[in-house]
Structure 1
Amino acid sequence: MQIGMIGLGKMGGNMAERLRRGGHEVVGYDHHPELSDVSSLKELVERLEAPRAVWVMVPAGEATQHTIDELGRLLSEGDIVVDGGNSHYVDDQRHAAELADKGISFVDCGVSGGVWGLQNGYALMCGGDKASVDRVMPIFETLKPEGEDGFVHAGDVGAGHFAKMVHNGIEYGMMQAFAEGWELLEASDVVKDVKGSFGSWRTGTVIRSWLLDLLVRALEDDEHLERLRGYAQDSGEGRWTVQAAVDHAVPLPVITAALYARFASRQDDSPAMKVVAALRNQFGGHATASAEGSTGKGADSPGADVTPPREGR
């Protein structure tokens, strides 16, 4: 099958290569000329035979919107667009409606597999009408892992990215659990081999997983993670998952806490913890640390001048 691939970064480039290895003809475009087969979206569309199929693999938000808008001007009735980026599912519904007015079909596809997808295949979660999904099924069959699993037609337009959003929210919670367990083991005076403990869980335990394999791999490279700073970015899908939970009145305490933990990782000096420290000093006389790094006196320290509050207030 012939397909245009827009966005040839770490994911898109490997996906294009997997498709080529699978016998498909891929015409690729990227804003980096050295990665592209064509010099513009216009040339990409001209190189494809009608009815055309185009896969968009660019960052969610403005970049995707710009690409969809331009494709809407360049493509013709009967063509199809697949958005394989991490778009918000509500954007999918708008994009589908905009393209439908011009007779262009739209499928949203959540993609998971990261840099390992070229070798192992990509998990695909699609949304759209059956006819549109079936039309690009040869592409999905090549991209997915071998076997029965790894692909789902999740529902109507937006369902693919909604499923991928929830997948990423679950990933947040799992990663946070591994992170907290690692920190506790590292803090222990009893456990001497933290890396080995994680490695021992890879076989026969209920928490064995690819994430556990990747953590062990990271610990083998840097046993105490001393070369890393405790800072974690979020892609946006964790936020969308929590917002969707609010919209549907579904409690997500683990995923929400994992998202907030990532926010906390970006604070070298937490404003909220300043308040906690001040209150602990006020009611319990606990020592405080100054912004310069020195330690202040608590209420029960020699020379401390703390007046207790009056009763009844």
Structure 2
Amino acid sequence: MSTEHARATIGLTGLATMGRNLARNIARNGHTIAVHNRTTARTTALLEEHGDEGDLVGAETLEELVAAIARPRVVVVMVKAGEATDAVIDELVPLLDEDDIVVDAGNAHFADTVRRDEALAGHGLHFVGMGVSGGEDGALNGPSIMVGGSDHAWERLRPVVESIAAVVEGTPCAAHVGPGGAGHFVKMVHNGIEYADMQLIAESYDLLRTVAGLEPAQVADVFEDWNGGDLESFLIEVASDVLRHTDAETGRPFVDVVRDAAEQKGTGRWTVQTALDLGVPVTGIAEATFARSLSGHTEQRAAAREVFATDPEEQRVEVDRDTFVDQVRAALYASKVVAYAQGFDQVAAGADAHGWDIDLGELATIWRGGCIIRAQFLDRIKEAYDDEPGLTTLLTTAYFADAVKAGVDAWREVVATAARAGVPTPAFSSSLAYFDGLRRERLPAALVQALRDNFGAHTYERVDREGSFHTRWAEPDRPEVAAD
């Protein structure tokens, strides 16, 4: 294995599945890429198996990797998030020169990206947090890419990034979304929306199977039909594919042999935690995240089944199958609109809190292809933000408002039917509650504020005059005073 001095356009270290596929994608698109892995065997295997796909330069050490890249150097790090990423960066920094660029293309927490950006700036280096969505297939054939970093870094990266990204209607699904941690923040929220979208699809499947009595292959047919309309999306497409699959060993529907305890790598949890810090209600994302957590508490679930076991016949709800299928479709669409609206609200709040100028319409554009949440209605979201850049909520735009109004009765019927049948629908139910909370003239938060003032003197505001007030609840006549 050898290197030729400074002939590579870009370098990459970390050749697990995502890194390997991203390197192949870069090479396929005409760029010379130097590749490195701590275990040299992986580098050798990549060159032997895919060296004919483009100009791949192998490096046995990080020193060789850096020496092979033309200045200003770009080194992409594709290793496990957290301590492993910090360790690689610490090794790289002494090898680099001023204005060189380090790119973390993994699923890092945006706060870590902010920290690393500040640390590397002290060495005269540029740090980029680059969100890459699309899984291993996207990494190889065209992902959606969200770049966070300096203008200098973006100009150096742009030719490579735009050439390897998915393309929709002639537009690469890649953008410089902002400085510092903006790219990883946006990718985090993208994954949060993904959690909600998958949970809603799973709840739709459960309702169609449990209440309407459809078999998995029949639900696959329903999803395939939905995928030809306004619900067209990658996740609906693959859900249909999964539900149609039969386990070769048992002959059973594949979904029935998969353990019903969902895993998570942390991005959904980060989304919810960050939303709480920002004061943004992302109820659909939160319930999707908690649904995964509940699914993993198998001992508690087993204990609860022993105590609360119910005869399925006692909770059987009779429905007209065709009508119910249409109702679930309407509920899914309305809930999906809520999930995306909440996600875009969180991006806007994060941008405001951190001073990032994130173009929300551009996000909808780059999420149309390559990424996991790619869907037809992202075009509508782009149009909404193009028409009204300062949009308060997607739910009030004409297109989405009309869709929700048309489906709200079905949405309510689905949630009510699920409750009667004992089918848990946390994402459907919380999304409906969010919608009702937004449109309600008066919320019981008034009582909450009064209670807080009663036991903790936390003060309250009045509807009839300005200022903050406190009632002296312990005094006989309970006088009201202006708060300091």
TM-score range, shorter chain: 0.7 to 0.9
Q: CA deviation at 1:51?
A: 2.4
SS for the counterpart of 1:152 is strand
The correspondence for 1:143, drawn from 153, 156, 164, is: 164
Instruction: Tell me the distance in 2 between the aligned counterparts of 1:81 and 1:11.
Output: 17
Equivalent runs, 1:148-167 vs 2, <5 Å: 148-167=171-190
Q: CA deviation at 1:66?
A: 0.8
**Are 2:109 and 1:101 aligned?**
no
Contact 1:242–1:252 under 8 Å retained in 2: yes
SS for the counterpart of 1:269 is helix
Q: CA deviation at 1:149?
A: 4.5
**AA matched with 1:256:** A
Instruction: Tell me the distance in 2 between the aligned counterparts of 1:19 and 1:275.
Output: 51
Structure 2 partner of 1:41: 62
5+ long unaligned stretches in structure 2:
1-7, 44-57, 247-252, 312-484
Paired residue total = 280
Instruction: Tell me the distance in 2 between the aligned counterparts of 1:93 and 1:188.
Output: 48
What RMSD in Å do the two structures reach over aligned CA positions?
A: 2.2
Structure 2 partner of 1:31: 38
Structure 1 partner of 2:233: 209
**Are 2:153 and 1:132 aligned?**
yes
What do the CA deviations read for 1:112-161 (whole angstroms, capped 9, x no partner)? 01122255411011111212211111111122112215112111110000
Contact 2:188–2:267 under 8 Å retained in 1: yes
Structure 2 partner of 1:230: 260
**AA matched with 2:41:** E
**AA matched with 1:150:** C
If asked which structure has higher relative contact order (CA below 8 Å, sep 6+), I would say: 2
SS for the counterpart of 1:23 is coil
**AA matched with 1:200:** D
Structure 2 vs 1, CA of residues 76 and 117 (structure 1 numbering), >3 Å: closer, same or farther? Answer: same
**AA matched with 1:236:** G
5+ long unaligned stretches in structure 1:
288-313
The correspondence for 1:242, drawn from 269, 272, 282, is: 272
Contact 2:132–2:139 under 8 Å retained in 1: no
Structure 1 partner of 2:245: 221
Structure 2 partner of 1:92: 113
Instruction: Tell me the distance in 2 between the aligned counterparts of 1:143 and 1:191.
Output: 41
Contact 2:189–2:271 under 8 Å retained in 1: yes
SS for the counterpart of 1:165 is helix
Structure 1 partner of 2:299: 269
Percentage identity across paired residues of the two chains:
39
Q: CA deviation at 1:42?
A: 2.1
**AA matched with 1:2:** T
Instruction: Tell me the distance in 1 between the aligned counterparts of 2:164 and 2:288.
Output: 30
Give me the TM-score of the superposition, normalised by structure 1: 0.83
SS for the counterpart of 1:226 is helix
Q: Which has the higher helix share?
A: 2
Structure 2 vs 1, CA of residues 119 and 14 (structure 1 numbering), >3 Å: closer, same or farther? Answer: closer
Instruction: Tell me the distance in 2 between the aligned counterparts of 1:211 and 1:130.
Output: 34
Instruction: Tell me the distance in 2 between the aligned counterparts of 1:181 and 1:20.
Output: 41
SS for the counterpart of 1:157 is coil
**AA matched with 2:224:** G
Instruction: Tell me the distance in 1 between the aligned counterparts of 2:286 and 2:225.
Output: 29
Instruction: Tell me the distance in 2 between the aligned counterparts of 1:80 and 1:71.
Output: 10
Give me the TM-score of the superposition, normalised by structure 2: 0.55
**Are 2:213 and 1:183 aligned?**
no
Structure 2 vs 1, CA of residues 51 and 129 (structure 1 numbering), >3 Å: closer, same or farther? Answer: closer
Structure 2 vs 1, CA of residues 118 and 153 (structure 1 numbering), >3 Å: closer, same or farther? Answer: closer
Instruction: Tell me the distance in 2 between the aligned counterparts of 1:276 and 1:180.
Output: 20
Structure 1 window deviating more from structure 2 (160-169 vs 59-68): it is: 59-68
SS for the counterpart of 2:11 is strand
Structure 2 partner of 1:63: 84
Instruction: Tell me the distance in 1 between the aligned counterparts of 2:139 and 2:181.
Output: 25
Contact 1:77–1:102 under 8 Å retained in 2: yes
Instruction: Tell me the distance in 1 between the aligned counterparts of 2:254 and 2:207.
Output: 12
Instruction: Tell me the distance in 2 between the aligned counterparts of 1:169 and 1:8.
Output: 26
**Are 2:83 and 1:51 aligned?**
no
Contact 2:23–2:33 under 8 Å retained in 1: yes
Structure 2 vs 1, CA of residues 277 and 229 (structure 1 numbering), >3 Å: closer, same or farther? Answer: closer
Structure 2 partner of 1:251: 281
Structure 2 vs 1, CA of residues 235 and 54 (structure 1 numbering), >3 Å: closer, same or farther? Answer: same
Instruction: Tell me the distance in 2 between the aligned counterparts of 1:112 and 1:132.
Output: 20
SS for the counterpart of 2:171 is coil
Structure 1 partner of 2:29: 22
Equivalent runs, 1:113-132 vs 2, <5 Å: 113-118=134-139, 120-132=141-153
Structure 2 vs 1, CA of residues 242 and 201 (structure 1 numbering), >3 Å: closer, same or farther? Answer: same
SS for the counterpart of 1:225 is helix
Contact 1:18–1:142 under 8 Å retained in 2: no
Q: CA deviation at 1:22?
A: 0.9
Q: CA deviation at 1:277?
A: 7.6
Q: CA deviation at 1:59?
A: 1.6
Instruction: Tell me the distance in 2 between the aligned counterparts of 1:24 and 1:182.
Output: 44
The correspondence for 1:198, drawn from 223, 227, 247, is: 223
